[in-house]
Amino acid sequence: MKKKLWIPLILPLAFLVFGPIIVPFFAPWSAINCKHEEINIKTGQSRYKRYIWFIKVSERVEDTLISTILDGETVDIADIEPWHKVNTFSFVFGHSPHYIFHGALAQVRELEIIFELKQPTAEQKREIVETILEFWQSSGHDGGVRDYLGELMSGE
């Protein structure tokens, strides 16, 4: 008779403990257990959030090459939200759904390589990062920046 009394207690406890491990197999990018990467398309900063049981357990904002060059300034040319998801990772899957700014953080890393190779002046760097933020804001996605970085790399 005592075993039957423990079952109602053990099942919810087991779900609380094992839910964040099991549920991502069926709902891989739910906030039950995931990490979000975001970009601020007005400052160039990146933000990283971690969720367990739909509760944000950590958040950090980091400077990128773009925000470092802007030195705390904002480029604001469009009425658009500043923060946008770039990636969502589940502990089960190492890939993310495709967001409209899915390539933004990779584009920042590509820009770092271009700057290393081309060695632009400080004024040129600032002009380039402002152009990137303007592309992101005016288009509402990361597509135009891909072409722009290609032009920078080829020297056109």
pLDDT tens digit string along 68-88?
999 999 999 999 999 999 999
Cα–Cα distance between 153 and 113 in angstroms, integer?
A: 9
Identify any residues that bridge with 63 across adjacent strands, giving them in sequence order: none
Tell me the mean pLDDT in the region 26-45: 85
**Model pLDDT, residue 20:** 67
- Is there a domain that residue 5 lies in? no
Q: Which of 6-10, 25-29, 46-50 has the lowest mean pLDDT?
A: 25-29
- Is there a domain that residue 12 lies in? no
**Model pLDDT, residue 24:** 64
- Is there a domain that residue 78 lies in? yes
**Model pLDDT, residue 129:** 96
Average pLDDT, the chain: 87
- Is there a domain that residue 8 lies in? no
Pairing of β 83-90 and β 55-62: unpaired
The alpha carbon of 152 is separated from its chain's Cα centroid by a whole number of angstroms, namely 24
Residue type, 57: V
Please give the share of the chain, as a percent, with pLDDT higher than 90: 59
In the block, residue with structure tokens 């990772």: 89
58 is in which domain, residue-wise?
20-154
In the block, residue with structure tokens 């632009």: 120
**Model pLDDT, residue 53:** 84
- Is there a domain that residue 93 lies in? yes
Q: Which residues of 93-113 are buried (b: 16+ CB within 10 A; e: fewer)?
A: eeebeebebbbbbebbebbee
- Is there a domain that residue 114 lies in? yes
The alpha carbon of 99 is separated from its chain's Cα centroid by a whole number of angstroms, namely 9
Q: How confident is the model at residue 67 (pLDDT cuts 50, 70, 90)?
A: very high
What does each C-alpha distance from 59 to 7, 49, 75 come to in angstroms? Answer: 37, 4, 23
- Is there a domain that residue 33 lies in? yes
Q: How many domains in the chain?
A: 1
Q: How confident is the model at residue 42 (pLDDT cuts 50, 70, 90)?
A: very high
**Model pLDDT, residue 95:** 76
Q: What is the pLDDT of residues 100-156, one digit of tens each?
A: 999 999 999 999 999 999 999 999 999 999 999 999 999 999 988 999 999 998 875
Cα–Cα distance between 87 and 140 in angstroms, integer?
A: 16
